[in-house]
Amino acid sequence: MARWFSYQVKSTTNNIHRGERMRVQPLNGFRMLGTGIHVSKDKVYDAIHATNQPDWKERGLIFIQGAEGDSTDLGFLLDKTDYMVVKSQ
């Protein structure tokens, strides 16, 4: 069962740190409210740290890149309780 949620992204992609990339797998399916954007617990995605978000390091915030239905460069925001790292680059 997919969990429905909505996050307010604090800034624009111009402030996102493009350093460490990783491959992550969501622990559940997630859908972004009001959009067709979603991620599946059965897929592995590229992700980057969400350094433009408050307390990103403590909360383990990441942006998943290439979520289904996402045509933006922002990404799909998850915290450390929502994913597992498959591979760090």
All structural domains of the chain with their residue ranges: 18-88
Comparing 6-20, 29-43, 63-77, the range with the smallest average pLDDT is 6-20
Residue 25, CA distances (Å) to 18, 42, 44, 80 in order: 19, 7, 5, 11
Does the pLDDT at position 10 exceed 50?
no
Provide the whole-model pTM: 0.75
Q: Output the pLDDT for position 53.
A: 94
Q: How many CB atoms lie within 10 A of CB 46?
A: 15
Hey, which residues does 30 pair with through a beta bridge? Answer: 3, 39
Rounded to an integer, the average pLDDT of 55-83 is 93
